[in-house]
Structure 1
């Protein structure tokens, strides 16, 4: 199927390949806007290569033999954004009150430039004012000592290195709590819970070489073109050797339709890209369970199963088969929004394939029953023995560059995921054993006043969370609000009397400590560990590294402990890696020796070896709560809202106002809706509307000033940008197993 044949030509779309000249022009535009120098070009040259700087954008794998340019369009934007010449220092804050800054849009706040000095909020002037690091550490330490540790939250955004993350979780536990939510709580925590339950390992099972051997890839809710474009290289190679690609997504994302390699002179000169998806099915939001059920139903009817694998390795198969056979095609078609014949066509491809990989993103996880959706994809793969063999597996594509690694080294609110006994032995203390707060629970605590202190290791928590109209006023009431950051963002201007803004180095900058220049490490989506060395001069001589900031706060907060050597660890990050190895010896053996290995070193995955660390000792086939992941059908006059990132965006960071790969640009306050639904709702192109929450909880939620844009979407589905429409996502709407907010399926109504 091709874009031209299936795309509604009366709605906006991008009619050229992903990558190609469009990608090159976009990078050049951003480079010119930020007036980059030779140092930035050198950083890009070294990006994602052995001994170089690991991108701060997505977590896609780094190949052992990198391309000439091993960065994508959005990776280049992230690096250019990090190394901007613009500065946001004391003079900036002297000119602007926080009341004024709260009227600025997200892009303009971050475009003010790199933060340069430690700052504290002064309520009398409503401004951030300059302070010293010593004053900041002393005051923050005193505030933490005055608070009940259980009333504080230590949040991590997903970009901090393994070294930083290890120190951060240790500080939290030495202080006395497990309140360590991170950005995984808002995206792939559903993965961690569902995969742990079904295959005994909380992360995906694939490695990069698997994409050289598979003959079918199934994509669910993953926008490769914008969110992980370097993935398009192995996809293109797979397609050229005959691998089939099937995509399930409510939105036609151009990256999985056609790709032109910007590093191929032949493709660039010919103007011809590589068609990607053989079949592209625009299912309804939350319809993945039903779609997979339809595929499984035909496979059962056909008898296309790996019976030997199932008998040896699977538990719960008979109950799952009975559930599938009880589902009707009418129910499957109505819930998925897809014709039976399309699902049978996919099932036939699956039956013929010898090696299948299931790939997914947040379109699968961010629903009330997102865990069931992941479980259904595992079920499908297990039916064919497609986990634990070369060229097979399940592959969640993670967002932030080290969000998976942070969980690996202990940033987790669940004490059972952390080797607490080893931490007790290494550092001579009794770690807290109670379950900490998730992101949702932390926000609930801010609203009801039980959370009194908040430390944020990067990120834009106040803008990324749901229910913004309810949560924004809570920030001013905190006794302590510490933001470790590189640029100004929306969360920073929601300050109260106890707010501190602490600027840190970016990963591309030189981190020199007492023992010399330091290297940091991170984990990619495929469980490989990579070293990263920054070489650019820091944006300000007043910046500190993240480990140094954490150590400074910890020393000012905690009583002395001869086994806790903050100064030694900051002086030489290799000593932190020694601690990580001592804590996780099976995964990080010879850590310091292996961290610069080309392609990274693999920390292993039990499920890849068919060692099922589940309660039954086998891979678990699970039965979903219903055919729909939505948690209930929307009211007749309601729509299902899917929140989207644009092509000029990474998470809450908005680099510009182009959404080229969807044929959109300029205004971010838009609502995408099918022409059929426009007619049903009596709407006109460009009409100004408001969206209001249709959640049945009595809490008013509303976003006004949105323009209607006709778009190729399934019936009953509308789409709008994240984070602008986050206020419409109820805090109570989350995956039932993981509490991941349901950003992809919020019920809303349209008001004209």
Structure 2
């Protein structure tokens, strides 16, 4: 008999647990009353967009349009705690490096511009003008292609547009951003299949869909507001929801709505997933192959017997290319191979295929469980293959829905944050600003890391984020930061990246999106794009914690003026005074996407970007949507063969976390308290490997490149996960990911399938 897991996760999300967690977060940051009032404006048409996930703002919001994690993010930003200059006077950077991620950010909001003093190893207060002038002077002495301009996913459309323009005026396309670490596989995979770089599903489609399939996403913690759409679909129309995920995540098992009195009083919950398939780590391509094989062979049988077709042949004939080759590959696929790689039975996959085949309109939703693999791009293309078989692109209730992470990571790319010059309207920029944009491809995140290691990168400008903590191969990367000539961090709070600094380092505190942004023409608003391709306005409502803070646009403009001077014809001061002028410039640069941006950003529900695939217009080389035959069933085919010792480790976020920000050490949805130094194993694997509950182990990467990668002090816990697989937390296990272990084509770190071995720690 198989051993049973001892760690017992929650069987539902929401309910009193979420309500208690929200109240606790507000109280911990000393903003119980003020924070509660602010939350009534979160994700409302005239309020501020959540600073964590990018799920859509509905046109008709709930009375409280925020989730537990969104409330924690707000409390974290509007905390009364601060990290003023006297805090830094009391601590060296070396001392602070021993603090945990949670403890560093828990200090509170940064309040004044700081420069690192090498003589004291401390950040010391400086003036904004001195900072801008010195940064500009140092950048002017460097070759533009030796400087990296990184962006996290929180910067607004206005800031992102200014930042990208500044980098190109300076002379480089080195504009990596956080999408390089998550959904770049989507941005590479979808254009080749359906001709757009983003998803095609809107909130309205949830009202018309007949079936949803989820792959590789923990909705309960990473996009909890979506649970309202899922609950409505289940309760109002009995829509089947089919989930493929290695872990049984409570948010896709059941939901207890904190805003529904009946749920709260009676404990009633909505069952979310009608089928839940615990696919092996790295087995999604195989599972999708099984679904496609079932549909095609069922269609073959139906047509041979004179029955109704399973596939949408009219759509396939008119709108697609490559069907015959794809169908032949699926017919030839071996069920034995599919079952082995997916870790699922043929019966389970056929059951999912039948439910999908019965739906007139279906959508597929997925997260980084698909994109962060060596064959992550192939995974994305298999999703569209499945949708194309039944014409589920370009009709109500159907489509592909990549669930993005950070709140404007998709929008940043739309307005020019990209290392790829062919994605930039260079002629338009030349016409508007009278300069020649650089045509050389820039560095993405992995290439920037490689450049830091080999000395090609001399300076790193970080617009938000915690780059050093978010990227792979920490053991190699962290020492390399000290070799940089210059590091500049624009941030709201202190994190580990700021302590791993260059020879000259600046820490520049900015306003949060929730803060009131007062400029020469009055209070300003910003805009952003959500996961569904809709653009929204956002207006801050919190009094800033310090009068020394500047807005992100003001900081970008200050560095730009000091660096590029009057190069080009940009009125940096005018743009900072009135962000509406930046939006006018965005519209002038991208007129088809941003027509009337200043007005339409305040439409309830925002306004949707034009996407040809939504109208069945395919901007691909063939002029049609393309079926693409997968190269392999295995998402990580170069992983060492399973010999009983090698496990596939997936890293994941926890309940009290957003990206690298750790709000608390508990993860109540997975039954973990007080620690993140754990590794979760199948109980049978524990027996086979001679491990017991709470044993301390060292995880080592199986890689033969001359570098040892280990994470020690991990506590073994049993968990309901497929045999041969393991999971632990991000970013704590990032040191185990080699830089070269990334998705083909997109270079997204393959954080969801790391080959490791375990040994007991003495």
Is TM > 0.5 for Structure 1 vs Structure 2? yes
2:194 counterpart (174, 199, 217):
199
Pairwise CA distance, 1:662: 1.1
Q: Using the alignment, how far apart are the partners of 2:86 and 2:647 within structure 1?
A: 46
- Aligned CA RMSD, in angstroms, stands at 1.0
Residue 249 of structure 2, aligned match among 237, 253, 260: 253
**Residue 579 of structure 2 is aligned to residue 573 of structure 1:** yes
Query: After the TM superposition, which of the residue ranges 599-608 and 685-694 deviates more from structure 2?
Result: 599-608
Give, in angstroms, the shift of residue 665 of structure 1: 1.5
Helix, strand or coil for the counterpart of 1:229? coil
| 1:499-510 paired onto structure 2 within 5 Å | 499-510=505-516
What is the match of residue 460 of structure 1? 466
**Which digits, 9 at most, give the CA deviation of each residue in 1:616-660, with x for residues without a partner?**
000011011200111324341211110010000000000001111
Over 3 Å counting, the alpha-carbon distance change for 1:8 and 1:533 in structure 2 is farther
* Residue in 1 that maps onto 2:426: 420
Matched, 1:62 2:57: yes
Structure 1 residue aligned with 2:302:
none
- Confirm or deny that 1:547 pairs with 2:543: no
Alpha-carbon separation, structure 1, partners of 2:704 and 2:393: 40
Aligned equivalents of 1:268, 1:14: Cα separation in 2: 20
Contact (CA 8 Å) 2:206, 2:229: kept in 1 or not?
yes
2: CA distance, partners of 1:697 / 1:368: 17
Where do residues 484-503 of structure 1 align in structure 2 (5 Å cutoff)? 484-503=490-509
Which residue is equivalent to 2:394? 388
Distance 2:386 2:664 in 1: 40
- Give the match for residue 520 of structure 1: 526
The count of residues paired between Structure 1 and Structure 2 equals: 746
Q: What CA distance in whole angstroms lies between the structure 2 residues aligned with 1:561 and 1:719?
A: 50
1:371 matched to which residue of 2? Answer: 377
2:740 to 732, 741, 745: 732
Gaps of 5+ in 2: 300-309
Alpha-carbon distance between aligned partners in 2 of 1:293 and 1:338, rounded to the nearest angstrom:
12
Deviations 1:357-386 (A, max 9, x none): 000000010000000011011000000000
Q: Distance in 2 between matches of 1:99 and 1:582?
A: 47
Contact 1:294 1:329 (8 Å CA) reproduced: yes
Distance 1:561 1:172 in 2: 12
In the superposition, the TM-score normalised over structure 1's length comes to: 0.98
Deviation at 1:562, TM superposition (A): 6.4
| Aligned-residue offset at 1:673 | 0.3
Within-5 A mapping of 1:95-494: 95-240=90-235, 241-303=237-299, 304-494=310-500
Contact 2:680 2:727 in 1 (8 A): yes
Q: Which residue matches 1:695?
A: 703
The equivalences for 1:18-33 within 5 A come to 18-33=13-28
Shift of 1:441: 0.2
Listed one character per residue, the Cα deviations across residues 129-154 of structure 1 (whole Å, up to 9, x for unaligned) are 11000000000000100100000000
Name 2:694's counterpart in structure 1. Answer: 686
The superposition leaves residues 304-362 of structure 1 with CA deviations (integer Å, 9 ceiling, x where unpaired) of 21111000001111111111111100000000000000001011111111111000000
Task: Pick the aligned partner of 1:645 from 641, 650, 653.
Answer: 653
Matches of 1:265 and 1:535, distance apart in 2: 29
Q: What is aligned with 1:53?
A: 48
1:42 has 2:41 as partner: no
The CA deviation at 1:9 is: 5.9
Q: How far apart, in 2, do the equivalents of 1:261 and 1:108 lie? A: 31
CA contact 1:258–1:274 (8 Å) conserved in 2: yes
Q: 1:583-619: per-residue Cα shift (whole Å, max 9, x none)?
A: 1101111111111111111112111111100000000
Deviation at residue 696 of structure 1 after TM alignment: 2.9
SS of residue in 2 equivalent to 1:709: strand
Instruction: Output the CA distance in 2 between the equivalents of 1:697 and 1:435.
Output: 28
Matches within 5 A, 1:634-673: 634-635=640-641, 636=643, 637-673=645-681
SS at match of 2:651: strand
Q: How far does residue 298 in structure 1 lie from its aligned partner after superposition?
A: 1.1
SS in 2 for 1:664: coil
In the alignment, the residues of structure 1 paired with residue 673 and residue 331 of structure 2 have an alpha-carbon distance, to the nearest angstrom, of 46
Q: Give the gaps of 5 or more residues in structure 1.
A: 1-6
Match of 2:721 in 1: 713
Contact 1:43 1:53 in 2 (8 A): no
CA, structure 1 residues 280+87, in 2 after alignment: closer, same or farther (shift >3 Å)? same
1:3 corresponds to: none
SS in 1 for 2:714: strand
Aligned-pair CA distance for 1:8: 8.5
Structure-1 separation of matches of 2:374 and 2:439: 28
Q: Does the residue aligned with 1:46 lie in a helix, a strand or coil?
A: coil
Q: Aligned to 2:460, what secondary structure does the other structure show?
A: strand
Quote the offset at 1:41 in angstroms: 2.0
What is the CA-CA distance between 1:699 and the residue it aligns to?
1.5
The Cα shift of 1:11 comes to 2.6
Instruction: Give per-residue Cα distances to partners, 1:456-481, cap 9 Å, x unaligned.
Output: 00000000000001000111111010
Q: 4+ runs of 1 displaced by more than 6 Å?
A: none
CA contact (8 A) 2:59 2:605 kept: yes
- For residue 665 of structure 1, give the secondary structure of its aligned residue in structure 2: coil
1:43-91 C-alpha deviation (Å, 9 max, x unpaired): 1110000110111010001110000000000000000000011110110
User: In 2, distance between residues paired with 1:408 and 1:80?
Assistant: 29
Structure 1 contact 634–640 (Cα < 8 Å) conserved: no
- CA displacement 1:249-294 (0-9 Å, x = unmatched): 0111100000011000011111010001011011111111100111
Q: Match of 1:24, SS?
A: helix
